[in-house]
Amino acid sequence: MNLIDPILQFQTELQAIRRSIHAHPELCFEERDTAELVARKLTEWGIPVLRGMGITGVVGIIKNGTDDRAIGLRADMDALPMQEINTFPHASKNDGKMHACGHDGHTAMLLGAAHYLAQHRNFDGTVYLIFQPAEEGGGGAKRMIDDGLFKQCPMEAVFGMHNWPGIPAGHFGVTAGPMMASSNEFEVIVRGKGAHAAQPHKGVDPIMAAIQIAQGWQTIVTRNRNPLDAAVLSITQIHAGSATNVIPNDATLIGTVRTFDMKVLDLIESRMRVIAEHTAQAFDATVEFRFTRNYPPLINHQRETIFAANVLKEIVGANNVDTQVEPSMGAEDFAFMLQEKAGCYVFIGNGEGDHRDVGHGLGPCNLHNPSYDFNDDLLPIGATYWVRLAETFLKQK
């Protein structure tokens, strides 16, 4: 493994930074202390900083030489609204908040790269260090773009990285094209007419209509969608009624839809609406149909993916880089950045969880699990990748 020696020597400090962030998690658009820590470190290392982009976002700017070419490197900073069950010293001190997705590690890895790049500047051009808020459902990437990220920081390409449990530490996964799915949610309220359960003929039962709608929706994936197009339609909540002898006025269906293709998403949303409205009508009921598109699919660009993979192979060896990793039906708002700029998003292996300190929870070391912890062995690996990616990119003409 070809890691950068000064970054290896800086690993102890990086670990301390990472664990401090882990111990003090902040939710989306509340990352004030985290942003302050990031800005303070960048300033200490002589890196100019932009503050407040995307409310709590921070952008470090490292310029060298005379070339006007530029690259963006992005890390997310926010935590999740969940209770950590680990009891090791750096466990969350903020009740109901936890870095259960490794954004503390992502921030620390990019800080490690920033420290090295500021000292050595072995490139000609500009490196933008993007510390983004609110990835966990807040759409912080889009908020930064709307606040002028790519206008104030013009860059040719932007790159992202996420730790991935199950992939061995020291290994990477990436694929050109769809890497993560779109994230969408629906809430459909079926309006009927309440009645005594012993006199159902006097009412309009929204529960039976909702059941038929739910069953009808399953035919969208099995009969309307091309079998070669990946899609998930999951009903995750059904709410209705309050008593055993009462037919309620309404019933609610809530859930999520995931696809890698916007045309497939258009089809699913359209068919869901038609099936809901016509099925309800057949029961003499009505529906309120709400479908919210949160994050688009994350689509890696071909040329930048090949470039990133080649940089990774130089660092960890070709055998440790899977260039056809299985895409995830999870979602990522880095997708908004890849809609605006060419770029690539990679998975860095977080291992199986045996890296965790004594005092970790008994659950698996999976993302969004209360027993999760980021693998600190990745800090110099990820930081080296960021540095070599930026240096190599800016050497190209």
- CATH number of 229's domain: 3.30.70.360
* Same domain as 311, residue 165: yes
- Asked if the model's pLDDT at residue 397 lies above 80, the reply is no
Mean pLDDT, the chain, as a whole number? 98
pLDDT at 271 (0 to 100): 98
* Same domain as 324, residue 277: no
Residues near 285 by beta carbon (within 8 Å), at least 6 away in sequence? 190, 191, 192, 204, 206, 209
- Asked if the model's pLDDT at residue 136 lies above 90, the reply is yes
* Same domain as 378, residue 287: no
pLDDT at 210 (0 to 100): 98
- Asked if the model's pLDDT at residue 376 lies above 80, the reply is yes
Q: Out of 251, 276, 295, pick the residue that ends a domain.
A: 295
Query: Tokens in use for 397?
Result: 């003409």
* Same domain as 187, residue 142: no
* Same domain as 17, residue 134: yes
Average pLDDT over residues 377-382: 98
Average pLDDT over residues 206-214: 98
Domain harbouring 165, CATH code: 3.40.630.10
Q: Out of 230, 262, 295, pick the residue that ends a domain.
A: 295
Half-sphere exposure of 362 (CA within 13 A, CB side): 0
Average pLDDT over residues 225-243: 97
> pLDDT by residue (tens digit) across 26-78?
999 999 999 999 999 999 999 999 999 999 999 999 999 999 999 999 999 99
- Asked if the model's pLDDT at residue 182 lies above 80, the reply is yes
* Same domain as 48, residue 151: yes
Q: What counts of helices (H) and strands (E) characterise the chain? A: 11, 16
- Asked if the model's pLDDT at residue 186 lies above 90, the reply is yes
Query: Tokens in use for 241?
Result: 């009624």
Counting residues of the chain whose pLDDT is more than 90, the rounded percentage is: 99
Please tell me the total count of domains within the chain. Answer: 2
Cβ proximity of 173 and 322 under 8 Å: yes
* Same domain as 351, residue 265: no
Q: Would you call 290 exposed, middle or buried from its count of C-beta atoms within 10 A (0-12, 13-18, 19+)? A: exposed
pLDDT band at residue 396, thresholds of 50, 70 and 90? Answer: confident
- How large is the angle between the packed helices 379-395 and 11-23, nearest 10 degrees? 110
Q: Out of 295, 321, 356, pick the residue that ends a domain.
A: 295
* Same domain as 149, residue 95: yes
Q: Which domain holds residue 74?
A: 5-181+297-395
CA distance linking residue 28 with residue 108, whole number of Å: 18
* Same domain as 165, residue 106: yes
Residues near 334 by beta carbon (within 8 Å), at least 6 away in sequence? 74, 135, 141, 160, 298, 345
* Same domain as 176, residue 189: no
Average pLDDT over residues 122-145: 98
> pLDDT by residue (tens digit) across 161-178?
999 999 999 999 999 999
Average pLDDT over residues 196-217: 98
* Same domain as 342, residue 252: no
* Same domain as 123, residue 90: yes
pTM of the model: 0.95
pLDDT at 37 (0 to 100): 98
pLDDT band at residue 82, thresholds of 50, 70 and 90? Answer: very high
Residues near 1 by beta carbon (within 8 Å), at least 6 away in sequence? 170, 315, 316, 317, 381
> pLDDT by residue (tens digit) across 242-265?
999 999 999 999 999 999 999 999
